[in-house]
């Protein structure tokens, strides 16, 4: 990563009594500490953005509980990309591996996954979040309406949320994935199978994974129809 991006100041290392080789070593260590500290500061801002989003989802959960409504959120998971993953993604995109490039070009450094019981809940949660004035929608990819070739289904949002520090405000991008329980089951197992094999996945296996994804999607729709029928009886 680039060390010339105005890292925080550190303690001076002037010591004329040390041999030049030690001066160079200390200078290199100083650059490393500055870079590590700056990376820690950046990740703290992304982690804070995730905490704010998790708090918003938790409040929506509690509101539904107090009002006696069915909860559209089953589970919330979050993660921060590792330094290795960030570097690999920048290299894959043929972009500079620097802090500035990372923040400007990657929208999924911070990620939140929301698992919902039914498909309609996914869109309900999306709408509740986007009504909040401090959340701005940057990008939306609806892989439920238009599944990926593999059969993958999920609603992806990239949102921007402000993080207020003692003296500064940072607008931070967070990727939100909204899925049903069934979609998440398929996606997690497909990801594990794809990344645990060192060989190219055979076409026969790809077709089988797609077939299972279609079966799960049909089950999702049928379960939601049953839920609607039961609600109508009550």
Q: Cα 158 to the chain's mean position, in Å?
A: 9
Strands lying side by side in the sheet with 75-80 = 75-80, 110-116, 169-180, 155-164, 136-142
CA–CA separation, 154 vs 213, rounded Å? Answer: 12
Taking alpha carbons only, the member of 11, 49, 29 closest to residue 164 is 49
Residues 6+ apart with CB under 8 A from 90: 96, 97, 101, 102, 105, 106
Task: Catalogue the active-site residues.
Answer: 175
Q: Tell me the three state secondary structure of residue 17.
A: coil
Cα separation of 107 and 173, whole Å? 6
C-alpha 29/C-alpha 34 separation (Å) is 9
Rounded CA-CA distance 230/234 in Å is 7
């Amino acid at each position: 990563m680039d060390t010339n991006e105005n890292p925080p100041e550190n303690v001076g290392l002037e010591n004329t009594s040390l041999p030049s080789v030690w001066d160079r070593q200390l200078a290199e260590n100083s650059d490393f500490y500055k870079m590590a500290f700056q990376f820690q500061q950046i990740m703290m801002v992304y982690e804070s953005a995730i905490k704010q989003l998790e708090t918003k989802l938790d409040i929506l959960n509690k509101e539904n509980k107090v009002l006696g409504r069915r909860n559209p959120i089953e589970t919330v998971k979050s993660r921060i990309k590792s330094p290795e993953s960030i570097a690999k993604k920048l290299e894959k995109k043929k972009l500079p591996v620097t802090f500035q490039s990372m923040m400007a070009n990657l929208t999924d450094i911070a990620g939140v996954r929301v698992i919902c019981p039914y498909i309609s809940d996914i869109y309900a949660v999306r709408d509740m979040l986007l009504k909040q004035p401090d959340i701005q929608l940057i990008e939306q990819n609806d892989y439920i309406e238009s599944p990926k070739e593999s059969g993958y289904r999920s609603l992806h949002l990239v949102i921007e949320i402000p993080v207020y520090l003692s003296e500064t405000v940072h607008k931070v991008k967070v990727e939100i994935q909204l899925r049903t329980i069934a979609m998440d089951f398929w996606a997690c197992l497909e990801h594990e199978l794809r990344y645990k094999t060192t060989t190219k996945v055979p076409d026969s296996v790809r077709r089988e994974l797609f077939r299972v994804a279609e079966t799960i999607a049909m089950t999702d729709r049928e379960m939601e129809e049953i839920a609607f029928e039961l609600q109508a009886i009550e």
